[in-house]
Amino acid sequence: MGEKIGLAPVGLGRWAKVLTRGIQRGDAVELVSCFSRDEARRTAFQEEFGVPNAASSFEQLLADPAVEGIIVTTPNDTHRELIVQALEAGKGVYVDKPIAHTLQDAAEIAAVAERTGKVLAVGHSARRLAGSREQKAWIEDGRLGDVSLAEANFSNERGLELTTDTWRYFSDRSPGGTMIQLGVHHADNLQYLLGPVRSVSAHARRLFTRAEVPDAVMAILEFESGALGYIGCGWASPGVYTLNLQGTKANLRYDLDFTHWHESHEADAHSTLLSQGYGESERTPLTLAPTDMFREQLEEFGRAIRGEATVEVGAREATRALAVVHASLLSSERNGQAVELAEVLEGAGAAIA
């Protein structure tokens, strides 16, 4: 490939730094500018990562011809405005998951992406982990057989740390709390592995956090295939990341050490994927080929801007993951009654073919 693709992050906090380190591990894309409303943060970011330019306004960033795409890592409730403005300015957009905090915003983002024809990529990176890729391979080549049950959990302690100084504290900015921040990863993973979800039954509780949002959610998913899946996510325990599949030929048990999540090029070395077939009393460790989910997804985004690739997770996939979140919350409000994904999607004008 020729000249590197020029990208620019918007919102220069913790996650922008994680993604920037991923970019700098590769050679396909580069940061040519950056933007934060805080001048001191812009300067510090430039100095830490060697970014040559910084914009003093979002409009100035979008007017820069060297910026081919922007990376949005701002609070969820700001996604729509920034994404729409960037797409209409002719820029490609990568936004970290979730695509937005509401399905209404997701629907508008999807409509603008389709109208402008510009690239929109959503950072559901967990499906790129080696364990997820291997599970997908076992499904596709028949080694797993037909899956009847899936169990997934993504939890950590962040709900115990929330204060009114953080946007995740507030239910209108981060509806569902742990479900929209952590559970949404598995809402994408499970649909990547098993296909579309038909309905969700869930209970969400606020147990130990001082914030307005739930810190414990359990959701049962019914897939269009008839399979059943479980997503558990909590914000009041040490980190957990697991995804287990039960098939008619074998079982797969995947466990990742969450403390290595931010260093995606090292995460696979701190993961285990175990297989167990019929008649086997032991679970056999499988070899996982190393991946680098953050670097890979941003390089794919850059190549897509140049017309050299197609993004794996766009508006459609990201909206279906977000719909699982909102169906879970509605089900909890209804004391666990099953909620069809079609109900929340159509109610938001976000119906997906």
| The pair of three-digit structure tokens given for residue 68, joined into one six-digit string | 């081919």
Q: pLDDT (tens digit, 9 = 90+) per residue, 139-171? A: 999 999 999 999 999 999 999 999 999 999 999
Q: Rounded to the nearest 10 degrees, what angle do helices 39-49 and 14-24 cross at?
A: 20
Strand order in the sheet with 92-96: 29-31, 5-10, 69-72, 92-96, 120-123
pTM for the model: 0.96
Query: Closest Cα to residue 28, out of 261, 340, 237, 299?
Result: 299
The DSSP output letter for 35 is B
Two tokens, residue 349:
């004008």
Q: How confident is the model over 31-58, as a mean pLDDT?
A: 97
Residue range 246-299, pLDDT digits in tens: 999 999 999 999 999 999 999 999 999 999 998 898 999 999 999 999 999 999
Answer yes or no: is pLDDT of 15 > 80: yes
Q: For residue 54, give the 3-state DSSP assignment.
A: coil
Token couple for 256? 């990742």
Strands 197-205 and 216-223 come out as: antiparallel
Percent of the chain's residues with pLDDT above 70 = 98
Buried b (16+ CB within 10 A) or exposed e, 140-171: eeeebbebeebbbbbbbebbeebeeeebbbbe
For residues 208-227, give the mean pLDDT. Answer: 98
* 252's tokens: 């797969």
Show the domains of the chain with their CATH numbers: 5-125+296-312 (3.40.50.720), 126-291+323-339 (3.30.360.10)
